[in-house]
Structure 1
Amino acid sequence: MTMHQIGFVLEQALGHLTHSKNLQSHAQLDPEIHAHWALVEFEAEGLSQRIPIYNSNWSVRAGLRAHRLLSNIARATTLDALFFHTQVPAVLAQHWLRRIPSIVSLDATPMQYDQLGEFYQHRTGAPSIESIKWRLNRDCYRAAKRLVVWAEWTKHSLVTDYGIDKGKIIVVPPGVTVREWLRPKPRSPLDGAIKILFVGGDLERKGGRLLIEAFRALRRPQLELHLVTKTVVPNEPGIFVHSNMAPNSRELIELYHQCDIFALPTFGDCLPMVLSEAGAAGLATVSTNLAGIPEIVQDRRTGLLVPPGDPAALTETLRTLLDNPELRIELGARAVQHVSNSYDAEKNAIRLFDLLKSVSSKQNRTEH
């Protein structure tokens, strides 16, 4: 058996934290991989808060932190391959990509992120700065042996915006451990109160306030809105706020199982991982038709899509699901099948690890 020494450089921000934890969990199950973890923290704390550029530029901070972490690992072992997620810590660490066979994983290209930027408090720079940023990212993509993307939407941007050969790009979405999220027994349309679930730390960006507005318009007996969020929400009849639920926790999974509809009318997202959680739990889902979302919430097949920022469309779409329990159950059943086929974290982790072993210098030495 060949043992591959693989370094994982993982961004620790937003939804990437859950993806990171899933990779760490599943890497332990592959006997051919000895994983070395370089977890790149987002926050600038202590003295680093006072250093110009470093304290305000995530790409600079991530690149320098990745370099330091990789240097520590390289002093202790000889790495056969590297896996970067996202490209942010890889852009200023390209000498590592040239030294060690590497895969760069990303949920969105910088140009796509710029399009969603207003919802992430992100602004584009002067044209000269944007040109430098484009070249650095293009060179990073070229230096990688393979590129892994979360959605066909991202692959399209790499090909059309950065001129990358589509043959080196593989779509491997993140996901959930489906067997842990499956509901023990099917939903019944006669289960009592209808419960709508929202999960999102940033209530504003994820469309939570828009959802509250739609809930008020729909208010009827035995209708509940459950919000899993860190944002403070004033008390209101029919609205229940869950502020202390940990990702992948038993309490969170049980809440998914207790609800009937999942709603994420987000203004700015690439491919929210909560949508795969909702699908695995068999929930009829309402979300917005932007970025990679239509690939997981397939309109009128596994869920329903609305335009972002359209309260009337959101209200009417939710009304359709409230009035049609059979449609809710049908959409939820197809969502389970779709997520099981394409967004199962165990299956997709195996795909990633097999891909890493295929580019590993140890594998190539063995073949030659």
Structure 2
Amino acid sequence: MKKKLLLVTFPVDLGNRTFEKRFVKLFESFLDLKIYRFVPNQKSTDSFWKYSTTIGRRFLSSLELQQKVREANKEGRSVLFHGVSPALFAYPAINSASSCIVTDWTRKLYEPIYGMKMSPSWLTFIHKQVLNSQKYVIGLTDAVLEEISQDYGVPHNKLRKGKLPFSVDLDLFIPSPKRNDAVVKILFVGGDFQRKGGDILLDWFAKHHNPNLQMTMVTSHDPGNFKNVTILNNIQYGEDKHIELFKEHDILVLPTKCDSYPSVVGEAACAGLAVLTTKHALGAPEIIQNKVNGYICNSQEELLSQLNILIQNKPLIESMKQKSRQIMEERFAMDLVLDDFMNCLFKD
């Protein structure tokens, strides 16, 4: 008999929706799986009135969420919340013996990067209660586990390390054969163009007049027209264009200013690309071995300097591409990823 799980997702943005797809694919063949999507399809907004309406809608929706969690408890299902927010709104119904949170982010995670307080004391207190009410908190990066322990006082015996299910992407993306030409193809993916560093990468590219250098930028931003730069938008995860996009390129470059766990880094590695990013992509160490399949740089400036060197060494690029796929196959094999979650969810 299959073990039972209620997966509660929070698909409020592209990143969360992609995470949702990965977790569903991971569990659906192995578990008696039920999925509850907590207030899906919400658009973020800076309008105070619309933001207040959104929060109000979440409180109303929490009644249904709590009902679903109580039903799961009666059925003997474990419950896995993707993120702190859905667990907060389900709090009155939580059974601490069978409930876990999986996350790569909290409101306090970016405070050291931005040098400012991002979670008011009252909200930090509430999140502390929610996190400590769980059987386990499963962190997808070392950075978030360390931060949760430090800022929310979750004891180490309640903290577990999990792997983002890139095992799904290993089946989705197929590395391209080695090319013998001199062309280096750079890929950038980031809807938030400035925060992801698209502006500085585009400025760097515009200063290079190298006919063997090409770049594709996938973004919701319109940066204008540049020679040898292709701008794409509305690329959906898992569609043919998405898969071919990675297959056609050599290096993913993400000079991000701040990211918890950018999925594109793992997608690129699964597709056999070399990967360059900054230390502010907090999930990057899960994917990148420095000088083996890419570089994690201390700053955007250091990244561009490293990129200048790398584009002149096509054999090294090809070696890094092969290593990327190999690392992902070793670290994110389906049985390894699944075992981590099964142990947390179903073992005492």
Relative to the length of structure 1, the TM-score reads 0.83
Q: Match of 1:323?
A: 312
For residues 100 and 340 of structure 1, the distance between their equivalents in structure 2, rounded to whole angstroms, comes to 33
Q: State which of 323, 327, 341 in structure 2 corresponds to 1:352.
A: 341
- Note the residue ranges of structure 1 that are not aligned, 5 or more in a row: 360-368
Counterpart of 1:15? 15
One of 274, 277, 300 as aligned partner of 2:291: 300
**Residues 1:199 and 2:199 are matched in the alignment:** no
Q: Which residue of 1 aligns with 2:104?
A: 107
Task: Name the structure 2 match of 1:124.
Answer: 118
Of 136-145 and 97-106, deviating more is 97-106
Deviation at 1:74, TM superposition (A): 4.6
Structure-2 separation of matches of 1:182 and 1:26: 19
The answer on 1:71 being equivalent to 2:60 is no
Amino acid at match of 1:307: N
Residue 100 (structure 1) shift = 6.6
The one-letter code matched in structure 2 to 1:352 is F
Structure 2 counterpart of 1:104, one-letter code: I
Deviations 1:195-251 (A, max 9, x none): 100111221111111110111223311211101112123111110012132112222
Alignment of 1:176-191 (within 5 A): 176=166, 177=168, 178-185=170-177, 187-188=178-179, 190-191=180-181
Q: Which residue number in structure 2 is paired with residue 91 of structure 1?
A: 88
Q: Secondary structure at the match of 2:207?
A: helix
What CA distance in whole angstroms lies between the structure 1 residues aligned with 2:40 and 2:113?
Answer: 22
Helix, strand or coil at the partner of 2:109: helix
Where does residue 54 of structure 1 map in the other structure? 52
Counterpart Cα distance in 1 of 2:68 and 2:202: 48
Give RMSD over aligned pairs: 2.8
Partner SS state of residue 36, structure 1: strand
Quote how far apart the aligned CAs of 1:148 are: 0.7
* Shift, 1:117, TM fit: 6.2
Of 234, 245, 251, the residue aligned with 2:235 is 245
- SS state at 1:34 partner: strand
Q: Residue 54 of structure 1 aligns to which amino acid in structure 2?
A: S
Which residue pairs with 1:33 in the alignment? 32
Aligned length: 341
SS of equivalent residue, structure 2 residue 329 = helix
Cα gap change, 1:117 to 1:85, in 2 (>3 Å): farther
Aligned amino acid, residue 283 of structure 2: G
State whether residues 252 and 268 of structure 2, in contact with CA within 8 Å, keep that contact through their aligned partners in structure 1.
yes
Match of 1:362 in 2: none
> SS at the partner of 1:98?
coil
Relative to structure 1, the CA distance from residue 2 to residue 346 in structure 2 (aligned partners, 3 Å threshold; closer, same or farther) is closer
Question: Could you say what secondary structure the match of 2:123 adopts?
Answer: helix
Q: Equivalent residues in 2 for 1:124-273 (5 A)?
A: 124=118, 130-176=120-166, 177=168, 178-185=170-177, 187-188=178-179, 190-273=180-263
Question: Residue 343 and residue 265 in structure 1: after superposition, are their counterparts in 2 closer, same or farther (change >3 A)?
Answer: farther
DSSP-derived class of the 1:138 partner: helix
CA contact (8 A) 1:282 1:333 kept: yes
Deviation of the 1:179 alpha carbon: 2.7
**3-state SS of the aligned residue for 1:331?**
helix
- Aligned match of 1:276: 266
Return 262-271 or 8-17, whichever deviates more: 8-17
- Give a deviation string over 1:182-204, Cα, whole Å, max 9, x none: 3153x23x234221001112211
Q: Does the C-alpha gap of structure 1 residues 333 and 150 become closer, same or farther in structure 2, counting only changes over 3 Å?
A: same
One-letter amino acid matched to 2:28: Q
Matched residue type, 1:9: V
Aligned to 1:365: none
